[in-house]
Every structure is written in structure tokens, then in C-alpha cells.
């Protein structure tokens, strides 16, 4: 696993999860509402993303306990990140 230049662990910014969840909950669910099979698959995807978000937060807590810094990434193209998620 690659670490950022400053020794911090690169992780996606929380906004990535939030944007995906908003898109799925607002637009995708509205588009598939009439199709129960697709609606179930989208609901499953939403649950999976929420679980991933919780797992990342657990990892962040572990990093804090071990005094490991985190580099929240906004994209794959930049090596630096915004200071806040």
C-alpha cells in the first residue's frame, strides 16, 4: 500500500461517499422506482456504500489511536489534499 510523501495514509475524502449516496438516493432511485429488481439492486449498493463509509471511519479511528496521519484525497491526480474532509 502506498503512503503519501509525508508518511500519511491516503484515503478518499468523505465527500466522495456523500456525493455518491446523494446521487443514488435522489436520482437513481427515482429513475428505477418502477422496477423492483433495479430498485433492490440500487438499495443494496446504497447499503454497501454506507458500510464502506463506516469502515473507513473505523480505519481513521485506528489511525488516530496509533498516531498515524491521514491524507484525504480529492482525486487521483494530485499528491496533496485539502486539510479537512
Domain positions in the chain? 11-73
Instruction: Confirm whether pTM is higher than 0.85.
Output: no
CA 8/CA 57 separation, integer angstroms? 16
Sign of torsion over alpha carbons 33, 37, 38, 42: positive
Cell of 33: 422506482
Return the SS3 of 22.
helix
pLDDT tens readout for residues 22-69: 999 999 999 999 999 999 999 999 999 999 999 999 999 999 999 999
Q: Which residue has the cell 478518499?
A: 12
Angle between helices 14-22 and 36-65 (to 10 degrees): 170
Amino acid at each position: 500500500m502506498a503512503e503519501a510523501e509525508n508518511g500519511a495514509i491516503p484515503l478518499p475524502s468523505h465527500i466522495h461517499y456523500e456525493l455518491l449516496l446523494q446521487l443514488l438516493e435522489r436520482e437513481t432511485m427515482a429513475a428505477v422506482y418502477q422496477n423492483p429488481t433495479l430498485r433492490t439492486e440500487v438499495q443494496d449498493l446504497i447499503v454497501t456504500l454506507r458500510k464502506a463509509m463506516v469502515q473507513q471511519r473505523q480505519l481513521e479511528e485506528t489511525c488516530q489511536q496509533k498516531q498515524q496521519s491521514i491524507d484525504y484525497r480529492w482525486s487521483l491526480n494530485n499528491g496533496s489534499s485539502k486539510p479537512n474532509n
